[in-house]
Amino acid sequence: MLSYRVPNPLYLPKGNLFGHPLDSPVNLPPWLSEKDADYYATQFQITGITGALNYYRNFDRNWELSAPWWKSQIKVPVKFAMGDLDLVYTMPGMKDYIHNGGFKRDVPFLEEALVINGVSHWIHQEIPDQINQLLFDFFSKFH
């Protein structure tokens, strides 16, 4: 999942998740070292994966809790960045929302919605220097 880079809505056929048979070797993306992957695996062996999955299991409750803010606008300066290979960006309606006024309507102080070519969901991991520079430049305007 960490290296899934197909710019289409997610499709997980049984026994062939992400286009790979379940018994195929795992190839780590360049931004995730074997040492880091081993660390995460060790931690999940200790604590289990329930905590990580609870976010997704709680989706409906999150919607209920945030209902009072439905249709609220985010009224602070915002610079938004995502990769063009991000599964979220390729969800039906998302590109239209981001580029044709919906996002700007909900975030009136949106300065830029930047879509970076060739990266997926983990942009801070894939291109950390570029993301750090974007953040630095954005925050520097407010000192």
Amino acid at 103: F
Q: Which of 118, 126, 122 is nearest to 7 (CA)?
A: 118
Claim to verify: residue 90 and residue 45 sit in the same structural domain: no
The least confident of 2-6, 10-14, 21-25 is 2-6
Claim to verify: residue 90 and residue 130 sit in the same structural domain: yes
Claim to verify: residue 48 and residue 92 sit in the same structural domain: no
Residue with tokens 């790979």: 20
**Does the pLDDT at position 12 exceed 70?**
no
Claim to verify: residue 84 and residue 63 sit in the same structural domain: no
**Does the pLDDT at position 8 exceed 70?**
no
134 part of a folded domain:
yes
Name the domain boundary from 69, 84, 99.
69
| Domain coverage including residue 95 | 73-142
Claim to verify: residue 77 and residue 103 sit in the same structural domain: yes
In the chain, how many domains are there?
2
pTM above 0.85, yes or no: no
- pLDDT tens for 89-137 read 988 999 999 999 999 999 999 999 999 999 998 899 999 999 999 999 9
